[in-house]
Amino acid sequence: MDKPVEPLIQEAEVYYRQGKLELALSLCYQVIQSQPDFAPTYKLLGNILQLSGKQEAAIRAYQYGIYLFEKPSNSPIQLAEYYAALGNSLIQMGAIEKAIACLGKQIILQPNSAEAYCTLGILLHEVEDRKRAFDCFTTAIQLKPNLAEAYGNLANLLAELNQVSEAVNCLKKAIILKPGLAELYGNLGNLLCEQGKFNESIFYLRKAIEIKPDYANAYHKLGQVFQQSNQLEEAVACFQKASELQPDFAAAYGNLGMSLQLQGKLCEAIAAFHKAFQLQPDLSLLFFKGQTHLEASLEQLVAVPNYPPKTVCLSMANLAVDFDTNKRAFTYIKINSGQSVYLQAPKNSSGNFPQVPTNLQERWGEFPEMYLAILPNGWAWGDLITTAIFTEKNQLIAELSTGNVACFTEVTKLPKIKKIDGNIAFLSTIGGDTYYHWMMDILPRFKLLQYQGIDWDNFDKFVINNYTHAFQRETLNFLGIPEEKIITSVEYPHIQASRLIVPSVPSSIPKWFGSYIQGVPPWVCEFLRQELMPLAGPNPLKGYERIYISRQRSQFRRFVNEEEILECLGKFGFKMVILESFSVSEQIAIMASAKAIVAPHGAGLTNAVFCQPGTKLIEIFAPRYVENCYWILSNHINLDYYYLMGESLEKYYAARPEIRPVKRIYKEARTDDIYVNIGSLVELINFAKLAH
C-alpha cells in the first residue's frame, strides 16, 4: 500500500513559501517517485521551477498536471488554477498567444474570476486586440468593482484610444481603491500633462514621488512637465534627480541638456548631452530625425575631426579681442546698438483667462546690438532647425548659433564637409524654411549684409536653409538677390568657406546670448515695412476690413470647431482668408487693408507687420502653447492686441465621440489643435468693441 503523500506536499509548500526551493523541489520529486499521477504535485512543482527561472520545465509540469486533471470527476476550480499558472509561465516566456488561449480556458472554468479577465485584457492589449481587451477590463470591473488593477489597465487602453478624459477618471478611481500605488499617480500625471493641466499633473507626480522616493521615471516626467510649462529651474532639478537615482538614464541626461540649453546654460547643456550619448550612442541619431534630407544621409555620415577639440566662445566681442592680438585673423563689425522697449500688457476679457501667461506679461525688454562676423576658413552646420558656426580653430560661436546647438556639438558623425571658396554669407537659422523665420530672421540678415552700402556683387554665395517656397523666390527677387548665388543647407548642411560672413540673428536670439527678448526687434519691423510695403499698392483692398485667418491647410494648430467659428465671426462681418493661397504682395495688401483680424497663433500673423497702427488683432492660443512673438510685434507698430485661450480638446471630443481620433498620438505642444469656446469669443469681440 502506498504511503500518503499529502504530508510531504504540505511540507514542500512550507519550504516553498520560505524560499527554500531546493528542499521543496526534493520533496516534490519524492512524491512523484511514489505517486506519479498525484496531480496537485505538478502545480507546486511548476511554481518552484518558475521561481527558479526554469520556465520551460515549469510549463511541462503545469501541462502534465492539466493532463491529469482533465477528467470530469476532478474540480474545475483546481483545473482553472493550473491554466492560470501555465498562462503565467507562458507570459514569462513571451508566448503571449498561447497564454491568451490558456487564460481563455481558465475563464471558461472560472467565469466569475475578475482577475482572469483583467490578465487576459492586458495580454489582448499587448497584441493590439483593443476591442476584446476593453471588454475584458469592463467585465472584470463588473465582476469586482473594487479591482484597482482593472481600472488602471483600462485607463492605459482608453488613453491609447484617445479617450483621455475617461482614462483620467479610471485612474482617479484606481487611486481611491489603491492609494499606495505610485505608478497610478505617475500615469495620471502623464495624462494630465497631455491635457495641458500642468498644475494637476505636478500634484500627482509629486504624490507618486512621495509614495516612492526612488521613482526615477516620475522625476523624469515631472521634469518634462516643468519644461513644457517653462519652469526650467524645477525641470533641471528633476532631471538631475532622475539621473542621480538611475545613473544610466540616458533620456534624463538628454532632457537635462535641453532644459539647460533653454536656460541659456550652453556649456552645462553640452556636458549633459555628452553624458547622454556616452550612455546611449545611438541617441545622437535623434538629432537627424524628422528631416528627410538628413535621415536619407545616415549611411553616408563620416566621423567629425575633433583636433583641436571644440571649445565654446560665449562672447563674440571677446573673441574679436583675442584675435586682435593674433594679427586680426577675425573681423567683428558692429552695425547698431542694442535697444530697450516697453511692452504693454495684452488685452483679454475678464472671464476667459484671468491669469496672463508669463511670456505675455507687461515689462521692459532688451534687444542686442547687431554685427557682422567674418571668419577666415570658418565652418558651419545648417539644417531646418539648428545652425552652428565655428572658427577655423573649432571654436563654437554661440551668439551666432541657433536651435539645438548643445546636442549638435556632441554629434560625432556628420555628412561630409563641402568646402567653398570666396565670400560666403551664411544666413540659415532655426526654422528658416518657415514663413515667420524667413521674414523675421533671414530677410533682415540680408539687410545686415548691406551695411555701409556693400553690394550683392561682393558676395559669391548666400547660404539659406531652403529655397523651395514661392514666398522665398518672390521676396528675394523683389530685394534684388541674384538667384544663381543661392545655395541651401538642405543640399549642403556642412560647409567650410575661405571667408565665412555671418550676420547677427535678429529675432530668434539664442538664450545663451543673454536675457534678451525672444522676438522681432523694432528695426526689423521698420525694415520690412519700408522694403515690402510698396508691394501692397497705394489703395486699400475692398472687402478685407475684417478678416479671419484660417489654418485649415496646415497640418497642426487648427481650430477643431472652425465651422462654428466661421458662423460666429460672419455675424460680425469677418471674412475668412487662407493667406498661403495668395502671393506675398497680395498678403501684404490684405493685411495693410485690415482693420480687425482674428487668427490662431501661426505663421499667417507674420504679415501683421504690414498692418496699419490701431488695427485690432485677436490671437487665439492652445492651452499648452503660448508664444509672444506677435504680441511683441504688435507693441512695436502700435496694434490693438487681444488674446484668447482655447479650451481642452478633451472637452470638445467628449461631447462629440463620433469624431474623436481613433488612436492617440502623442504630440508636441506646438502642434496642438485648438478648441474655441464660442461664448468666450463673442465676449472678447464685444470687449474689443467689434460687435458693430
pLDDT for 318-363, tens place per residue?
665 554 444 445 788 899 888 999 999 999 986 545 578 888 999 9
**Sign of the torsion angle spanned by Cα atoms 579, 583, 584, 586:** negative
489 within some domain? yes
Contact predicate 659/653, CB 8 Å: yes
pLDDT at 522: 96
Cβ neighbours of residue 6 under 8 Å, at least 6 residues apart?
A: none
- Do 495 and 581 have their domain in common? no
Give all strands (DSSP E) within 529-685, no chain letters.
546-549, 575-577, 596-600, 616-621, 640-645
pLDDT one-digit tens code per residue, 138-168: 999 999 999 999 999 999 999 998 888 899 9
pLDDT one-digit tens code per residue, 532-566: 999 888 888 999 999 999 999 999 999 999 999 99
323: amino acid identity, one letter? F
- Do 423 and 550 have their domain in common? no
Distance (Å, whole) CA 266 – CA 274: 12
- Do 542 and 660 have their domain in common? yes
pLDDT at 540: 83
- 122, three cell numbers: 492586458
Of 476, 508, 540, which residue constitutes the final position of a domain? 508
Low-confidence ranges of the chain (pLDDT < 70): 1-3, 70-76, 82, 87, 307, 316-329, 350-354, 452, 662-666
pLDDT at 18: 83
379: amino acid identity, one letter? W
- Do 504 and 535 have their domain in common? no
21 within some domain? no
The CATH number of whichever domain residue 562 belongs to comes to: 3.40.50
107 within some domain? no
Nearest to 564 by CA among 674, 690, 641, 644: 674
Per residue in 152-170, is it b (16+ CB within 10 Å) or e — as a string? bbbbbbbbbbbbbbbbbeb
- Do 492 and 573 have their domain in common? no
Give all strands (DSSP E) within 146-303, no chain letters.
302-303
- Do 379 and 467 have their domain in common? yes
CB-based contacts of 268-275 (< 8 A; 24+ apart in sequence): 269/406, 270/312, 270/406, 270/409, 270/410, 272/406, 273/406, 273/407, 273/409, 273/410, 274/410, 275/243
Instruction: Please tell me the total count of domains within the chain.
Output: 3
- Do 567 and 451 have their domain in common? no
Helix (H, G, I), strand (E, B) or coil at 461: strand
- Do 536 and 671 have their domain in common? yes
Helix (H, G, I), strand (E, B) or coil at 75: coil
- Do 498 and 540 have their domain in common? no
Cβ neighbours of residue 655 under 8 Å, at least 6 residues apart?
A: none
pLDDT at 453: 76
478 within some domain? yes
Residue 158's φ and ψ, nearest 5 degrees, are -60, -40
66 within some domain? no
Q: What is the mean pLDDT of the chain?
A: 89
- 262, three cell numbers: 533653454
- Do 592 and 670 have their domain in common? yes
46 within some domain? no
Domain that includes residue 274, residue range: 184-294
379 within some domain? yes
Helix (H, G, I), strand (E, B) or coil at 64: helix
Residue 482's φ and ψ, nearest 5 degrees, are -65, 120
- Do 484 and 617 have their domain in common? no
119 within some domain? no
Name the DSSP letter for residue 129. -
pLDDT at 71: 62
- Do 439 and 504 have their domain in common? yes
pLDDT at 327: 45
The CATH number of whichever domain residue 267 belongs to comes to: 1.25.40.10
